[in-house]
Amino acid sequence: MTPPISKKIGFLRSLARPVDFGIELEKKPILGSHKTWRGVVLGILVGILIVWLQTLLYNNFPFFQKVSLVNYDKINVFLFGFLISGGAIFGDILFSFLKRRFNLKPGQSWLPFDQIDYVIGAFLLLDPFFRIPLAVWLALLIATFPLHIIVTYLGYRLKICENKF
């Protein structure tokens, strides 16, 4: 939710430029003007911050060590945060590229890919460096589908997102 929130508060306007620089491929936008450097940069920075906060919780509260799927003592927190959040952004951008090839407009629903592209991208970037069991990825994939719909709908109701799901 970082990119839509950053757009609403006008944060880092200088980075509000399209990732694809407005270039077209076969008379179609590569990604579209809605995929901006602001969203990429802030999405990754907030992702790193969240992993750092999770590390603090893990190191200071035994409960979080018991329920964590990641041993934060054995990872490079900044690399992990960069890869998982960068992967989520990559997945979103990859599927945005595919949507443009299939003539789907920005914001147009593309079930189930709009709901799971983040998990696919995170897996692709994170897995070569940090092995997380496949069962965890499958659980994330399954859980992300309804959670994405719920969170996006809440974002719509709060006027953060323009689409219901």
User: Which residues partner with 28 through β-bridges?
Assistant: 25
pLDDT at 38: 92
In a domain, 122, yes or no: yes
Q: What is the pLDDT of residues 32-76, one digit of tens each?
A: 998 999 999 999 999 999 999 999 999 999 999 999 989 999 999
- Does residue 67 sit within a domain? yes
CA atoms within 13 A on the CB side of 38: 20
Residue 119, domain extent: 2-133
pTM of the complete model? 0.88
Is 149 inside a domain boundary?
Answer: no
Q: Note whether residue 49 is domain-resident.
A: yes
Per the domain annotation, does 154 fall within a domain? no
Residue 15, in any domain of the structure: yes
Has residue 138 been placed in a domain? no
> Is residue 90 in a domain?
yes
Q: Based on the structure, what is the number of domains in the chain?
A: 1
pLDDT of residue 165: 63
**Residues of the chain falling short of pLDDT 70:** 1, 3, 8-9, 165
The pLDDT, as a whole number, for residue 58 is 97
